[in-house]
């Protein structure tokens, strides 16, 4: 069984995907982390995330970079959104994601184009959304917990900018698959969102 969990930044898709993976005993891949690694590597190389050549070169990042805590920062998230608009970068990372999705037994993947591009045959597709204020508040609390200095207004502005880039890019834009189930987590607590996601997955998959 392949479960695709898509949605914008801070919508709760990562938390939901991890919970689904644990519930169904499936491996999980946060595909956004791959793009964050490319963005981070591009910065480490002194490259320009908006330059297709620099971004493609950064796709050769070492696996050890995936453990870098800086990948979770707002700055790196912004870089990830910028490198992800390049078709060559998306092609370079496609096979890696595709191989994970099609492994024996299935998998859970979360990102922005899982149900539409990476695994359109997924038996379960969720498109997780939340309002910008709700998402900004969540990310603000995460940043406070890690001691990062950033304002709520800055986070909200960054989320809106990233949403615009993700939805307007020419290749694999952030859109819900036609057969995806929409899950709005704006007014849901963590446990409520997870419970609803599990219910949707169990209803969608023929056991």
CB atoms within 10 A of CB 131: 13
Q: What is the CATH number of the domain that holds 144?
A: 3.40.50.300
Residue 61: C-alpha distances to residues 38, 68, 76, 106 (Å): 7, 12, 14, 26
How high does pLDDT run on average in the chain? 92
pLDDT at 207 over 60: no
pTM: 0.85
pLDDT at 146 over 50: yes
Residue 63: which pLDDT band, with cuts at 50, 70 and 90? confident
Print the domain residue range for 152: 2-204
What is the structure's pLDDT at 126? 97
Domain count of the fold of the chain: 1
Q: Please give the average per-residue pLDDT across 44-72, as a whole number.
A: 95
Q: Please give the average per-residue pLDDT across 165-184, as a whole number.
A: 89
Q: Please give the average per-residue pLDDT across 44-60, as a whole number.
A: 97
| CA 139/CA 87 separation, integer angstroms | 28
pLDDT at 137 over 60: yes
What is the structure's pLDDT at 145? 82
pLDDT at 206 over 70: no
pLDDT at 187 over 90: yes
Is 28 within 8 Å of 108 (Cβ atoms)? yes
pLDDT at 64 over 90: yes
Residue 96's nearest CA partner among 119, 68, 125 is 119
């Amino acid at each position: 069984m392949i479960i695709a969990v898509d949605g914008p930044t801070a919508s709760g898709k990562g938390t939901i995907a991890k919970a689904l993976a644990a519930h169904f005993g499936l491996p999980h891949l946060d595909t956004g982390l791959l793009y964050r690694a490319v963005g981070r590597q591009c910065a480490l190389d002194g490259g320009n995330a908006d330059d297709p050549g620099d971004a493609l070169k950064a796709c050769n990042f070492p696996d050890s970079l995936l453990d870098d805590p800086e990948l979770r920062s707002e700055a790196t998230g912004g870089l990830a959104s910028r490198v992800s608009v390049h078709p060559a970068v998306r092609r370079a990372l496609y096979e890696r994601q595709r191989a994970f999705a099609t492994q024996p037994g299935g998998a859970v993947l979360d990102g922005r184009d899982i149900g539409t591009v990476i695994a359109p045959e997924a038996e379960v597709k969720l498109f997780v959304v939340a309002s910008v204020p709700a998402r900004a508040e969540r990310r603000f609390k995460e940043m406070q917990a890690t001691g990062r200095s950033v304002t709520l207004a800055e986070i909200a502005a960054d989320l809106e900018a990233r949403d615009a880039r993700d939805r307007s890019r020419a290749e694999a834009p952030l859109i819900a698959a036609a057969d995806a189930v929409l899950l709005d987590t704006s007014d849901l607590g963590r446990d409520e969102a997870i419970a609803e996601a599990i219910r949707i997955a169990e209803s969608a998959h023929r056991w």
